[in-house]
Amino acid sequence: MNASSANPLLSDRDVSFQLYEVLDASGLCALPAFSEHSRETFELLLDNVRRFAREVLFPTYRLMDTEPPAFREGRIHAHPLMRRLYPGMAELGLLTATRPPEVGGQRLPLTVASAASVYLMAANLSAYGYLGLTLGAAHLLEVFGTPWLREEFMARLYRGEWTGTMALTEPQAGSSLADVKTRATPSTDGTYKISGSKIFISGADQDFTENVVHLTLARIEGAPPGTRGISLFAVPTRRPQGGRLVDNDVRVAGAIHKIGWRGLPSCVLNYGEAGDCRGWLVGPEHRGLACMFQMMNEARIMVGLNGVSTASVAYHEALAYARSRPQGRPAGAKDAVQPQAPIIEHADVRRMMLRQKAIVEGGLSLLLAASWQADLAAHAPEEAARRRAGLLLDLLTPVAKTFPAEKGYEANALALQVHGGYGYSSEYLPEAWLRDQKLNSIHEGTTGIQGLDLLGRKAMAAGGEALRIFSEEVAATAARARKAGVEEGWCAAMERTLEAVGALTLTLGSLGMAGEVEQMLRHSADYMELFSIVAVAWRWLEQAAAAREGLARGSEGRDFYEGKLCAAQYWFAVEVPRVPHLVELCRSCEDSYTRMHSEWF
């Protein structure tokens, strides 16, 4: 069965609410960087992207899922649809939407560009994946590349003529980048000869543009061990030489057969099999990982947006199904002659739908809040404001990547469940989105790595300053909520829970300072879970405040605002009470799985 053309992918009303009532996207135009924009220019981008996503991209999703790229004679052959989809996406302007005019950009806020991108991700995340990776690669070259690299590589990436990748992972190292072994040998012409292998490289080869540029981590000969010896290189599949492109000795050694994101190939790459692979240094020697983290952090936000989008499209599919599928009768109804009721009339189906709504719209709010902080970190006029926003963004990034992936998977499973027996059939789409979603908890740093990063680095950064800034933001939200007339119990629970998280973080930080690092990080996964609950509670409290304000204005759409308040009520009644138990697990350093021996399993 083809994708439902009626699926909106996201709620336009919710996106507008998040941008202009929860946040104040129009207020960003007061910043000098965005002074030439207005709500009208924001809406122009959103309208164009929505139309393309719904009318062009979404109908191709099932085709690209069932007919993944083929690996033949050493090349990846993408689905033929990509020959028109990629230029179409590039023409929307998202590759350069947030970039300055000097590189052909519009310098739009990331907050708005993120909201627009979610529509494309929800429509066909594999097709969008090429665009997102290319944007990240081009931005790296913009910031760290030489003038020649910016002219020869970056400009073509931004124009949509080439695509880009991030080539980090190696077969023997996995996520442990300290163990990267790909070698770079200096040449007399200023390039480096690259040799080695990479694995799980998304979009590493395709046949709808003339070239692919791989932003590759490698070690220059004689470099120090560990992450301090890693450098970053731009390695094209075909290199410019004598006014034309020639083979650069980059070989696809195989394709990974994935359960999801099937339209975007994941490849094994071999560099320099013939000894003639050339790369160009990007940024300083031995500082490659620091440069690459720019792209990695952007990619983590992108994965979070993918998680939200994949849960959102499934939620809307399940909602339409639940409203139209008659089955059974209300509890207590005895007359079998009466017509069957739509399944959304059954309490348990409404439970599943409300949980999906709480996850999807809470996750979107969190990602837009992170994007908002990214805009301030880059463009606030005062250095102190930029620093403050940067610290908060760093704190939110692992959460904004992890929550939509982990809870999004749960939401996708519920969307499948709502469809009953049809849900697990391949003729209906929820099973495909469930497969897609699973990859998001692995892409760009697994959930375990994100938990270690959150607790071991971000929450402790600058002596806990990031957490203090987060507390200030929550306090401002609570003040807004009280003024708007939001239930006092929710505000008090938010403050009480945040206080518990602060005290726990101080306790765990003290363990780390005392050298008990293993105990400190033992329950980092539980710390990520509790912090995610709190962060999304913050966003639901903000949404509740905006909903109360909307009701007080007498704005149209009372049902919309009441739905927001009901979802906020759900989060504070069901999720927030879980935090004390998770806090105690972390504080007690409970050791059941750390003392478990391999032989005991």
Interstrand relation of 231-236 and 183-186 (parallel, antiparallel or unpaired): unpaired
Would you call 443 helix, strand, or coil by DSSP?
Answer: coil
Using the 8-state DSSP alphabet, how is residue 198 labeled?
A: E
Note whether 585 and 523 are within 8 A (CB).
Answer: yes
Distance from the Cα of residue 87 to its chain's centroid: 23
Instruction: Enumerate helices (H) and strands (E) in the chain, giving the number of each.
Output: 18, 12
Q: Using the structure block, give the residue that is written with the tokens 């543009």.
A: 209
Cα distance between residue 484 and residue 595, in whole Å: 50
Per-residue CA distances from 574 to 222, 346, 416, 526 (Å): 55, 19, 22, 17
- Written as six digits, the tokens of 215 are 């932003």
> Tokens 């629970």 map to which residue?
493
For residues 413 and 434, the answer to whether their CB atoms sit within 8 Å is: yes
Compute the distance between CA of residue 234 and CA of residue 310 in angstroms, rounded to an integer: 31
Which pairs from 294-299 meet CB under 8 Å and 24+ separation?
294/139, 294/140, 294/143, 294/144, 295/136, 295/137, 295/139, 295/140, 295/166, 295/215, 296/166, 296/168, 296/444, 296/445, 297/397, 298/135, 298/136, 298/139, 299/132, 299/133, 299/136, 299/166, 299/443, 299/444
Q: In the annotation, is 444 catalytic?
A: yes
Report CA 257 to chain centroid distance, whole Å. 22
Amino acid symbol at 30? A
Burial class (CB in 10 A: 0-12, 13-18, 19+), 554: exposed
At 250 the three-state DSSP class reads: strand
Give the C-alpha distances (Å, rounded to integers) separating 265 from 196, 541, 591. 20, 40, 40
Q: How far is CA 387 from CA 294, 373, 409, 523, in A?
A: 16, 10, 34, 29
Give the integer Cα–Cα distance in Å for 357 and 366.
Answer: 14
Q: Please answer whether residues 454 and 399 qualify as being in contact, where contact means their C-beta atoms are separated by less than 8 angstroms.
A: yes
From the candidates 444, 529, 549, 575, give the one annotated as an active-site residue: 444
Q: Which of 382, 388, 519 is nearest to 465 (CA)?
A: 388
Residue 527 and residue 588 in contact, taking contact as beta carbons nearer than 8 Å: no
The answer to whether 97 and 227 are in contact (CB under 8 A) is: no
Helix (H) or strand (E) holding 202: strand 192-202
What is the DSSP code string of 96-158?
STTS-GGGT-----HHHHHHHHHHHHHHHHHHHHHHHHHHHHHHHHHHHS-HHHIIIIIHHHH
Q: Phi first, then psi: what are they for 213, rounded to 5°?
A: -110, 125
Tell me how far CA of residue 599 lies from CA of 29, 309, 590, in angstroms.
61, 41, 20
Catalytic residues: 444
